[in-house]
Chain A
Amino acid sequence: MRTYDITPFEFDEAVDLQKYDAWFLDGTHSVPPWTPMFGWSWINYCRHGMMWAAQKLQLPTCKGWDWRLHRGGGYLAVLVVDDPAEIAEREKVFRKQLEPFIEDYDAVWAVHLEELQGYYTTLRAFDIDGSTNIELLDHLEDAFRLNKRMWEIHFYFMYVVFGVYMLFEAMMKQMFDIDDSNPEFHKFLTGFDNKVFQVDRKLWEFGKKAEDMGLDGLFLENMPDKVGALLAESEAGRSWLAEFSEFLGEDGWRSQRMSEFVNPTWLEDPTPAYMNVRQFLQKGGDFNLEHERARLTVEREAAEKELLQKIPDEQKGWFTKLLRLAQRSGSFSEEHNHWLDLYTHALVRRALVGWGDRLVAADVMDQVDDVFFLVPDEIRRVALAPEWHDLRGLVADRRAEWASWAEEDNPPMMGTVTLEEAMGTLIRSNDPVVLKVVVGSFPVPKPELNADLYGTCGSPGVVEGRARMVMNDADLMAIEEGDILVAPATYPSWTAVFALLGGVVVDRGASLSHAAIVGREYGIPVVMNTFEGTKVIKDGMRIRVDGNMGTVTILND
């Protein structure tokens, strides 16, 4: 199969290294490698959303990122603005664009969230099984349009919100000499209610409910994938299930891997949700998620009060505003995954699975999942007269190639310059998203600490425990109280597991990546950007995670 069959954004060494010195692997989202359908959607819509937002906002020193695909990995290059005159022109518009965010962030967010929720309601109401092929094709196009719009809104907010977070970080550093690797720093930003936490809380409450209804044994003694069938056998179980289905109908629009279409959503297969309920039950009677959150809130309020006392009166006005905005940034960083990426991807998946079913029924391919090895043009090609087509050969080739990608890691960077020089270009972009999420800061080995891995601090604290390698959802099952999760990156659907964890080690990510944000919310140490954590650490090893120093030490095999 020619790679250009997927998209004109395939990495081409001969051409793509002429304009750009270096391309960075997006290790946070594209490890393990994407399926062709997801890679296609990311490279088209995420790339578009960034450029759209950078242009709409007129971000002074960056026009978004260019993207390429290479063996299922997303590679990015930052479009830096160098001309001082152009920067000055962009800055004028950008300042205006910032005003509404500063004046009333909540109002701006509400308008955009409402817009997306409108699309969600419409798409959810669409009757897939009862639709004609024409209607289903329109529905797929609507889902893609939503995908495109979601990314525009995503970066319109993220570029501003992460900038605000970085400003708060810079001011805290200047005024109090604490930065975001300091435990004190995060006290100001944690303990807020947000959608991700609300979902975790509901899962915890369903655990409590199971206990009250005498169903806890059923959860604890059986594997989560059997729980659904067993619950259906009893009156109490059916009553619990009915309520749980209602919850999933609202909040189950998520699959375990945020940046993929290939995994089932909770609505299709609630096993991961049952696992979360089980894990909360394992925490035992004393654990109270509500109290945990309340404790963080009380801590934050006390810390805030103390902080504001140190600020000179005439500076309190703008500083308080900045603090509030930084707190919103923290909430956005965590909650946007639920409202934007997860929800939209779940709805696109629903439309794609609709086509998968239909193409299998029309004898065009063998499995519903084969649809993820197509690109949209191939669905369009066969949609209205499927009986004239056979996609089996194409799907088989793509599946084979996809499987081969997973055998060898994609390089973290492809380029004609050293990593240091390439980092220089990234820093020149002043792009908050590059610096805080996707690439992060590169770890500095500190031999005097005599550690086995050097990363960066995601969340402070020190912990020892058993390493649990989590390369996919199924691996989450093995996690027990106090374990340390080791993974390429963590995903928003995994948050409830954090309640069980002692600590987290991830290969890639920075201080506003998922693992770091959630780790801080749950108050456990997290080390980011170890690059080789999943290679060096073996499942079952005892390790020490030092979030303060950003190191991991292997204690025994």
Chain B
Amino acid sequence: MTDKWIYWFEELSKDAFELVGRKCANLGEMTRSGLPVPPGFALSVDAHRRFMQETGAAEQIRAFVTTVPPRELARDERVSQQIRDIVESHEMPDDMKAEVSREYCTLCGLVGVPDLPVAVRSSGATSMPGAMESYLNVRGDAQLFRKIVEVWGSSYTFQAIAYRANNGLSVEDFPIGVAVMKVVNAKCSGVAMSVHPNTGDRNKMLIEANWGLGEGVVGGSITPDHFVIDKTTGEIHSTISTKLECVLPNGDGTSWQPVDVELQDCSCVTEPELRAIQELANRLEAEYGEPQDIEWVFDRDFELPESLRVVQTRTAKIAKGTDEKAQNEYLIDLLMSSIYHRK
């Protein structure tokens, strides 16, 4: 492998997805285009491979996998947990630790906060939403080393294995990249779709938001505030929900915590903030040439417009099938999600 296996976001572009995984490549692309991404760096896919080889984890897993029928590998959570246990039983080699520590120190210095809370996120070369782990609010060297190893281990969750098995990818050898980035001091966060996801209406965009960190929105366990913005007229259609809980930093991690009574029924995003998201979404859509599905957050430590940060952006999934079968399928999807489904 090459000597270089840590890259700052500004060194990357979207073409680097084989080097550092899709999420890191995207973060790099956004950073380079001047979009408000929290500062941070990426561990390359090779870093994961090197860890697996140098610690002997790769060999152990290969030996274990031969004892398991391939079908069970993708189905049985206990089997995948055993693989993750193998990965997590190893420490990162000391020379790798030293390099991670050096870059982390640089990041802390950049923001001016010692033991800066960071997010450690998985970044596969193939997008597998929700299949692998990400950790928030990680502080200090020791914890950072541990969480990076755990993210590597999470490339063996049974969802990730099943995905690879179903898509003809290597089940046991599938290294991933890791993103290490500043955790924003989140006032509120959410998702934004630059096109209406149900109707594919490009004149409308949709924003969903909750107090605190983004896990409190995409997790789906509460009803977030819901905004539809007409991009032509600028009209905002708001549906404010009672938000009883949100996700906030808690010790070394995060947890669901109750929302103050007086904030539960308030819109968690102000109108100027919605406008900032709208502008950002337009910019990203123009940048990528396709409708985008964006994770965003407002950082308490900054004022608008600097307070708005992009955590992730990807191509929005909308109906675009032109053949008969795809259209029929899409109509059935719509019927299920809009009419016959349990709300």
Contact = CB atoms under 8 A, between A and B. Distances in A.
Interface stretch (B193-201, B239-247, B303-311): B193-201
Interface in A173-207: 174-175, 177
B335 A167 contact: yes
- Grouping DSSP codes into helix (H, G, I), strand (E, B) and loop, the A interface class, with mixed when no group exceeds half, is helix
A312 B201 contact: yes
Contact of B340 (A61, A315, A322): A61
A94 B339 CA distance: 13
A94 B201 CA distance: 27
B4 interface: no
Contacts of A167: 331, 334-335, 338-339
Interface in B185-222: 196, 198-202, 204
Contacts, number: 86
Interface string B305-338: 0000000000000011110000110111011101
Contacts of B340: 59-61, 91, 94, 163, 430
A317 interface: yes
Contacts of A170: 338-339
A314 interface: yes
Interface in B231-251: 237
B341 interface: yes
Interface stretch (A95-103, A374-382, A519-527): A95-103
Contact of A318 (B202, B327, B341, B343): B327
B342 interface: yes
A173 to B, nearest CB: 10
A102 B341 CA distance: 18
Interface residues of B, number: 27
Interface in A129-188: 163-164, 166-167, 170-171, 174-175, 177
A321 interface: yes
B238 to A, nearest CB: 14
Contact of B336 (A91, A171, A174, A317): A91
B198 A174 contact: yes
A283 interface: no
Contacts of B200: 312, 314-315
A87 B343 CA distance: 12
Contacts of A315: 199-201, 319
B339 A174 contact: no
Contacts of A99: 328, 332
A317 B201 contact: no
Nearest to A102: B328
Nearest to A320: B327
B322 A317 contact: yes
Given A61-B340, A163-B339, A171-B334, A318 B319 contact: yes
Contacts of B204: 174-175
A182 to B, nearest CB: 16
Interface string A190-231: 000000000000000000000000000000000000000000
Contacts of B338: 166-167, 170-171
Given A98-B335, A317-B322, A318-B331, A171 B341 contact: no
Contacts of A84: 342
Contact of A317 (B199, B321, B335): B321
A321 B331 contact: yes
| Residue picked from B196, B340, B343, most chain A C-beta under 10 Å | B340
A552 B331 CA distance: 39
Contact of A61 (B202, B228, B331, B341): B341
Given A61-B341, A312-B202, A318-B330, A175 B321 contact: no
A465 interface: no
B287 to A, nearest CB: 20
Contacts of B335: 98, 163-164, 167
Nearest to A96: B332
B342 A174 contact: no
Contact of A103 (B202, B321, B322, B328): B328
A430 B331 contact: no
Given A59-B340, A171-B199, A171-B334, A321 B328 contact: yes
A98 B333 CA distance: 11
B199 A102 contact: no
Interface in A255-279: none
Interface of B: 196, 198-202, 204, 228, 237, 319-322, 327-328, 330-332, 334-336, 338-343
Q: Which 6 A-B pairs have the closest CB atoms?
A: A315-B200, A318-B327, A317-B327, A102-B328, A314-B320, A163-B339
18 contacts: A60-B340, A84-B342, A91-B341, A99-B332, A102-B332, A164-B335, A166-B339, A170-B339, A174-B198, A174-B204, A175-B201, A312-B201, A314-B322, A315-B199, A318-B319, A321-B328, A322-B331, A322-B334
